[in-house]
Amino acid sequence: MIANKINLFSIWLILLMVCVISIILIGGYTRISDSGLSITEWKPITGVLFPLSQEAWLQEFDKYKLIDEFKLVNSLMTLNEFKFIYFWEWFHRFFARFIGIVFIIPLIYLAYRKLITKSDLPYIFCIGLLGMMQAVIGWYMVKSGLVDRVDVSQYRLSFHLITAFLILGVILRFFVKKNMSNNNIVIAKEEKDESKFFLLLLALTLFQIFYGAYVSGTHSGLLYNTWPAYDQNIIPLNIFGDESLIANFFENGDFIIFFHRTFALVLVLALLFVNYRVFTKNFLHHYRKIILILNILFLIQMLLGIFMTYLNIPWHLALLHQGNSIFIFMILVYLQSYMNFARAKLL
């Protein structure tokens, strides 16, 4: 019976994780293709309907023509071009609704079968709450680009992205907990104490992902197509504008891209430190394979960032860069969760 409980939860949680990964990538392409402002209304129920008639398409196109993005950027856009960007924004919202169904329907079944334990409730509540928040945040983000702007606010974009990663992290942590709760996994106290270093690397990685949204939101990545220099300068000439330091940190494109690149070196140092501990301590020997995989993913992430810079951010490399960050994040969440949920004993 316990095995059945774990199996049912595993299938549900894995499906949820696949869905969240998918919508992060769908959202990434929606952003890259400048599709995010094509639907200018938020209709949680009727918004699921896709325009099929010519009249419906013309009505949606007329709504889009009222916003500044069309007037100032896409005034020459044809109806067929509008249909392309509309589809991606509609599909992004449709898939979000689908995730809601994937969350609710199996949850009702699990509750009916009395397979939910009391310790599961905080995770289930957190996933549900974050999911509902994400829907509101998504519209809050889109709304910021409909008036007096031709793009969404980078602040709201980063909020939207990091919430998606938090949802994924909570689901994965819940998955690890469910699959370890009855397996009586015991690790040495010294090994468990190492979890703080994995947590540090996870926190730094999550911050880099969060700040990457500011690179995207301000189009800072397009400012320089050279690396490691910035148009033959070690540091961008306009790194400090007239704004305050805080304003530069979030709004000055030169500062943002410089900080994002520089912080990548901080991540490398943190990763090297974790490698040193894993490969010099025998009680951590069974983590070495997964750390090697993590090293490869970090290397790929850096190479993708460099190639993106030289090639002026092509959409396929941008999506690979985002997708690879998801797997790095998931490995770190898994490692930290495993060490956290395992029982400790003295050597």
How far is 60 from 40, CA to CA, in rounded Å? 8
Cβ-proximal residues to 143 (8 Å cutoff; 6+ apart), any chain:
42
Q: How would residue 179 be classed by pLDDT, with cut points 50, 70 and 90? A: confident
- What is the average pLDDT value for the chain, to the nearest integer? 92
pLDDT of residue 186: 77
pLDDT of residue 180: 83
pLDDT of residue 2: 42
> Under DSSP, is residue 345 helix (H, G, I), strand (E, B) or coil?
strand
Q: Using one digit for the tens of pLDDT, what is the confidence trace for 250-298?
A: 999 999 999 999 999 999 999 999 999 999 999 899 999 999 999 999 9
User: In the block, which residue shows the tokens 């942590």?
Assistant: 173
pLDDT at 3 over 50: no
Give the relative orientation of helices 154-180 and 121-143 as an angle to the nearest 10 degrees: 160
Cis peptide before 228 (omega within 30 of 0): yes
Give the residue extent of every domain in the chain: 1-183, 187-347
Q: How would residue 240 be classed by pLDDT, with cut points 50, 70 and 90? A: confident
pTM above 0.85, yes or no: yes
Q: Which two tokens stand for residue 94?
A: 């449709």
What's the start-to-end Cα distance of the chain, in Å?
34
* Overall average pLDDT of the 45-63 stretch: 94
pLDDT of residue 4: 47
SS3 content of the chain, % helix, strand, coil (to 5): 75, 0, 25
Alpha carbon dihedral 250, 251, 255, 258, in 10-degree steps, equals 70
Percentage of the chain modeled with pLDDT above 70:
96
pLDDT at 312 over 80: yes
Q: Using one digit for the tens of pLDDT, what is the confidence trace for 124-173?
A: 999 999 999 999 999 999 999 998 888 999 999 999 999 999 999 999 99
How far is 323 from 137, CA to CA, in rounded Å? 21
Q: How would residue 104 be classed by pLDDT, with cut points 50, 70 and 90? A: very high
Q: How would residue 244 be classed by pLDDT, with cut points 50, 70 and 90? A: confident
How far is 229 from 244, CA to CA, in rounded Å? 25
Give the relative orientation of helices 288-310 and 253-280 as an angle to the nearest 10 degrees: 160
How far is 281 from 273, CA to CA, in rounded Å? 12
Percentage of the chain modeled with pLDDT above 90:
81
C-alpha neighbours within 13 Å on the C-beta side of residue 178: 28
pLDDT of residue 1: 36
* Overall average pLDDT of the 88-106 stretch: 97
pLDDT of residue 211: 96
Q: How would residue 182 be classed by pLDDT, with cut points 50, 70 and 90? A: low
CA-to-CA separations, 262 to 2, 169, 290, 304, in angstroms, rounded: 48, 25, 26, 16
Element (H, E) at 57: helix 54-64
Neighbours of 273 (CB within 10 A): 13
Is the separation of the CB atoms in 214 and 208 below 8 Å? no
Q: Using one digit for the tens of pLDDT, what is the confidence trace for 6-26?
A: 588 899 999 999 999 999 999
pLDDT of residue 183: 67
How far is 221 from 213, CA to CA, in rounded Å? 11
